[in-house]
Amino acid sequence: NTGTCTVTAGTATVNTAGSLALAQWEGGALYFTSASTAIFFPAAKTVSPGGLVYITGTTFTTATSFSLPDNTFTSTYRNYRLFVNVTAFTNDVDLTLRLRASGSDNTTSNYRTAGMGLTSSAATVNRTANATSSFDVGESDSTTDYTLTLDVLAPQVAVNTNLVGQATMYYKTPAGLASLNYGLSFATTTQFDSLSFISSVASSMTGVYRVYGYANS
């Protein structure tokens, strides 16, 4: 757990077909052919983790809102992916999202929303807002579910936090299934460690969320 370690010999001679320098978490075995001679057999290298690394997730039932745990976003990863699937609503709702730091939602008027798409009847729909206190991430009536996929870009870096993604919902007016592409931007360089997803109706949402970090290399 300290970076590269190198196998060295005291009085014995160590022979090996591979490197004696072990990367972090690598290992191997020494096989002594005599009291003074050994052969080192490096173990198979650990497979690097995939591009998306699971961080947190849970279910929520008849909730007004949910917040990711504090310090979901850290310096470990620069970018993150959020999945939200609301499987049931008790009422027609409007849905918003706020960024959080140190356990509190940021409610300053620095949120900018650009959401554009089509309904299943080919009607154009837009969800746009500028200098508001939250992101507008859509709506749904009580007859269907809602899905949101967002990439959260550089929330822990002192630059504007941008989010890009897509949402599928049942649009109230004009009525019909709608798919919208979203571009969201928080217009100051605040660093965030979490976010909140909020319904306009109390105790109205049941579903799940998952958060993954994008591997840096």
* pLDDT value of residue 5: 79
Q: Which of 36-40, 48-52, 197-201 is least confident? A: 48-52
The token pair at 206 is: 């049941």
Distance CA 90, CA 143 (A): 9
Look at the alpha carbons of 170, 176, 179, 183 in this order and tell me if their dihedral is positive or negative.
negative
Which pair of tokens denotes residue 112?
A: 């900018």
Contact 195, 68 (CB under 8 A): yes
pLDDT of residue 207: 97
Look at residue 208 and tell me whether its pLDDT is greater than 80. yes
Q: What is the mean pLDDT of the chain?
A: 90
Least confident of 14-18, 183-187, 199-203: 14-18
- Give residue 2's pLDDT: 61
Nearest Cα neighbor of 25 from 43, 50, 8 is 43
pLDDT in tens, 118-153: 999 999 999 999 999 999 999 998 878 999 999 999
pLDDT value, residue 90: 95
When pLDDT is cut at 50, 70 and 90, the band that residue 3 belongs to is low
pLDDT value at 205 more than 70:
yes
Burial 155-186 (b: 16+ CB within 10 A, else e): bbeeeebbbebebbbbbeeeeeebebebebbb
Mean pLDDT of 177-181: 96
pTM, 2 dp: 0.78
pLDDT given for residue 78 in this prediction:
95
Distance CA(26)–CA(55), nearest Å, equals 24
Total residues belonging to the chain: 217
pLDDT exceeds cutoff 60 at 48:
no
Of residues 3 and 5, the one with the higher pLDDT is: 5
Percentage of the residues of the chain whose pLDDT score is greater than 70: 93
More confident: 57 or 143? 57
Burial of 85-119, coded b for 16+ CB within 10 Å and e otherwise, reads ebeebeeebebbbbbbbeeebbeeebbbbbbebeb
Tokens of 50: 């995939």
Q: What is the pLDDT of residue 137?
A: 98
pLDDT attached to residue 19: 64
